[in-house]
């Protein structure tokens, strides 16, 4: 009995004299994140509530923790300046919209090309496969470290009147960037590029007639208050909103190898999971606007053929422009098309 008491006292003294090691060993790595979207945007919620806790739980085992400071809704940098701020090391993480950054990652625009036959998850997988098989495609992100990406929402037409075929868009002011801007210009519309803070007022005042974007984006930015008609291409879409969460390359390389490995190991999991979440958000958003009495238009196969015909020369023009820059545009386009058909089966 005395021996048991002595052992108990010794154990208690160890705990008193030798404090827990974990609290002292955890090293905090500060991260600054800046983007244009609100805090409640799907990717931001996922980053904050799922990705960071999962990564932190794994890197805590080797004594580290990521501590993020967030600047949402363009509160630190305007959306047009975020990629540059990331490259310059002024921030550590940002969101990178493919259609807004076509000059920085022109080959990646194939993900946002109209009428490629992608589903949410096939677009996600194709993005990875192009990175893994075409060096020039992967090289476009060499300045950054991708922590995950998402092909979050199929693009549809959102307006306050019904517009169905290309001829209906002549003279209309249409928000668009990248290859979609080329498409709308070719059918006689006026493409306009505006930052997210300007979307609501521009639609409310009639400065934009049509807002091509995903229905979840419409709800996220409360644009359902100023658009009452939603026009869905049948069996395909105007392209996917390709979005990557990127880290400054030097910041990533400064991290301990164990932390880097955890980030690397979670890229595909995070991309797949967030895309699934956004698919759910898309369905919920469609149900929401239906309940509000919005008009839902689904284009007929005959109307879709007119859109395919309008888009074909634009996609060929994109391929030619990439080739003229010395980039493998045709290889990327043909491989993306092949993979789209493969995953459609």
Task: Give the model confidence (pLDDT) of 117-128 as tens digits.
Answer: 888 889 999 999
**pLDDT value at 174 more than 70:** yes
Tell me how far apart the alpha carbons of residues 81 and 93 are, in angstroms, rounded to a whole number: 13
Query: Over the stretch 288-297, which tens digit does the pLDDT of each residue have?
Result: 999 999 999 9
pLDDT of residue 152: 66
Spatial strand order of the sheet with 27-34 comes to 64-71, 27-34, 93-97, 240-248, 144-154
pLDDT class of 15 with cuts at 50, 70, 90: very low
Measured CA distances, 19 to 9, 14, 233, 329 (Å): 16, 8, 63, 60
- Tell me the pLDDT tens digit for each residue of 304-324: 999 999 999 999 999 999 999
Residue with tokens 């820059």: 325
Do residues 70 and 33 touch, judged by C-beta distance below 8 A? yes
Top CATH class, 19-344: alpha beta
Q: Is 332 or 6 the better-scoring residue by pLDDT?
A: 332
Query: CB–CB of 259/174 below 8 Å?
Result: no
Q: What is the mean pLDDT of residues 219-241?
A: 91
Note the pLDDT of residue 12: 46
Reduced to 3 states, what is the DSSP secondary structure of residue 63?
coil
Q: Residue 14: its pLDDT value, please?
A: 42
Rounded Cα distance between 62 and 71, Å, is 28
Tokens linked to 307: 């859109």
Q: For residue 206, name the pLDDT band (cuts at 50, 70, 90).
A: very high
Mean pLDDT of 202-219: 93
Identify the pLDDT of residue 18.
40
- Does the structure show a pLDDT above 70 at 16? no
Reading phi first (left if > 0) and then psi (alpha if -120 to 50, else beta), residue 102 is in: alpha
Least confident of 9-23, 140-154, 158-172, 322-336: 9-23
- Asked if the model's pLDDT at residue 282 lies above 80, the reply is yes
CB 177, CB 101: distance < 8 Å: no
The string of pLDDT tens digits covering residues 58-85 is 999 999 999 999 999 999 998 889 999 9
Q: Which range is least confidently modeled, 36-50, 80-94, 246-260?
A: 36-50
Q: What is the pLDDT of residue 345?
A: 72
- pLDDT above 80: residue 22: no
Confidence band of 23 (pLDDT split at 50, 70, 90): very low
For 163, which DSSP code? -
Query: For all residues of the chain together, what is the average pLDDT?
Result: 90
pLDDT bin (cut points 50, 70, 90) of residue 24 is low
| Predicted confidence (pLDDT) at residue 99 exceeds the cutoff of 50 | yes
Give pLDDT tens digits for 133-161.
Answer: 999 999 999 999 999 998 867 789 999 99
Residue 2's pLDDT band, with cuts at 50, 70 and 90, is very low
> In this structure, is the dihedral angle defined by the CA atoms of residues 191, 71, 82 and 151, taken in order, positive or negative?
negative
Distance CA 258, CA 151 (A): 28
* Extents of the domains making up the chain: 19-344
pLDDT (0 to 100) of residue 144: 97
Q: Quote the tokens at residue 208.
A: 């934009």
Q: Average pLDDT in the 1-13 region?
A: 46
**In sequence order, what are the beta bridge partners of 30?**
67
Residue 80's pLDDT is what? Answer: 85
Residue 167 neighbours by CB distance under 10 Å: 11
């Amino acid at each position: 009995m005395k021996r048991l008491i002595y052992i108990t006292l010794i154990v208690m003294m160890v705990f008193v004299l030798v404090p827990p090691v974990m609290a002292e060993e955890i090293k905090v790595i500060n991260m600054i994140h800046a983007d244009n979207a609100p805090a409640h945007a799907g990717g931001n919620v996922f980053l904050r509530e799922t990705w960071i806790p999962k990564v932190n739980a794994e890197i805590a085992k080797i004594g580290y923790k990521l501590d993020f400071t967030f600047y949402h809704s363009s509160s630190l940098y305007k959306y047009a300046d975020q990629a540059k701020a990331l490259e310059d090391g002024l921030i550590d993480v940002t969101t990178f919209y493919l259609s807004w950054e076509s000059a920085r990652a022109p080959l990646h625009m194939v993900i946002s090309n109209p009428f490629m036959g992608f589903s949410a998850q096939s677009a996600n997988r194709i993005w990875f496969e192009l990175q893994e098989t075409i060096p020039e495609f992967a090289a476009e992100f060499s300045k950054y470290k991708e922590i995950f990406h998402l092909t979050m929402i199929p693009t549809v037409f959102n307006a306050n009147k019904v517009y169905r075929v290309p001829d209906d868009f002549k003279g209309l002011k249409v928000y668009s960037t990248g290859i979609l801007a080329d498409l709308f210009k070719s059918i006689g519309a006026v493409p306009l590029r505006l930052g997210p803070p300007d979307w609501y007022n521009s639609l409310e005042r009639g400065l934009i007639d049509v807002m091509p974007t995903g229905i979840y984006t419409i709800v996220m930015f409360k644009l359902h208050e100023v658009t009452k008609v939603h026009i869905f291409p049948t069996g395909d879409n105007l392209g996917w909103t390709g979005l990557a969460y990127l880290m400054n390359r030097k910041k990533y390389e400064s991290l301990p190898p164990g932390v880097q490995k955890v980030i690397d190991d979670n890229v595909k999991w995070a991309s797949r999971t967030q895309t699934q979440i956004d698919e759910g958000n898309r369905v919920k958003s469609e149900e929401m606007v239906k309940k509000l009495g919005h008009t839902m238009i689904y284009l007929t196969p005959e109307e879709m053929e007119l859109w395919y015909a309008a888009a074909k020369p634009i996609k060929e023009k994109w391929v030619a422009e990439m080739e003229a820059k010395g980039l493998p545009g045709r290889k990327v386009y043909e491989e993306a098309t092949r993979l789209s058909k493969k995953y459609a089966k």
